[in-house]
Amino acid sequence: MAWVILILSGVLETVWASALEASRNFSRWRPSVLFLVALALSMTGLSYGVSSIPLGTAYGVWVGIGAVGTAVYGMLVLGDPVTVARVVCLMLIIAGVVGLKILS
């Protein structure tokens, strides 16, 4: 169960990062509220995960999911550049996350 919650918390990291950008320096209330709620839930899930998963593994998985999710969101929605190098780097992060899961 800790792994499921940790993965969902990583997805919520993507949500709060995207909401932070959409809040425009907290000048828009809906994305600002979404940011705060997603941040609180994401941190709570990470906290739950580290109670039974080693800290380094849990944090690496959490931040890896959030980083890849946010980068993909940026490329698909915000028009960030999509290059072979960026995709390869994101695949390497995914490989690292999978490796942490397998080796823990």
Predicted confidence at residue 46, as pLDDT, reads 98
| pLDDT above 90: residue 104 | no
30 CB neighbour count, 10 Å cutoff: 10
Q: Which two tokens stand for residue 70?
A: 């946010």
Q: Looking at the 3D structure of the chain, how many domains does it have?
A: 1
Containing domain of residue 26, as a range? 2-103
Q: What is the pLDDT of residues 38-94, one digit of tens each?
A: 999 999 999 999 999 999 999 999 999 999 999 999 999 999 999 999 999 999 999
Q: Which residue has the tokens 């290059």?
A: 83
- Global confidence as pTM: 0.91
